Amino acid sequence: MPPASEGAFTLVFSSVGTGGETCQIAPHNAQIGYTDVTKNSELKKDTIGGAQIFCRVIDNGGEFEAHGFQELSANHLDFTVNNLSPGATEAAPALGNVSYRSVDTVRLYSSPGDAMCEFWFDNEQEVATGRVWMEFRCPQIANAASNSSCAISSGTIAMQNCDQEK
């Protein structure tokens, strides 16, 4: 049996989004486990302590398809990046989608299709079959039901022991 998926994220939720609506949620930080641009000091394992962690990182011939889901207590993060280049930088990031919920947002906030999130690597971060550690930001993350548009100004995602097949 393969080892259980492990993951962590940290992020800064901002009340300044690029959408036309006003952000109705106060700025806040959120995390599951702990990771940042220099270290992964606390990855949570699927099913331990109530955590739900799933990821898939597949090599598609030089670019990667990365998908991850993390949920613990009220915090939830789901991301998908279909063309993640190992050479992605902050100046030339890969684009993808994020959905996020916390005790602060209550509702699910998602990146709209016309304002995708940006993903890139810094320092020792990397993507390889079965694992990913990267930075991200979402210029706009919205909840249509509440007419609220905000942003994730910075974040880090780390996942390992991920599925390697579609």
Residue-level pLDDT at 17 = 57
**Cβ burial, residue 149 (10 Å; 0-12/13-18/19+):** buried
Residue-level pLDDT at 41 = 81
pLDDT digits over 47-65, tens only?
Answer: 999 999 999 999 999 999 9
pLDDT digits over 66-100, tens only?
Answer: 999 999 999 999 999 999 999 999 999 999 999 99
Residue-level pLDDT at 21 = 63
- Comparing CA positions, the residue from 36, 135, 30, 15 lying closest to residue 73 is 30
* Residue 39 in this model has a pLDDT that exceeds 60: yes
% of the chain exceeding 70 in pLDDT: 96
Q: Which has more pLDDT, 149 or 68? A: 68
pTM (two decimals): 0.94
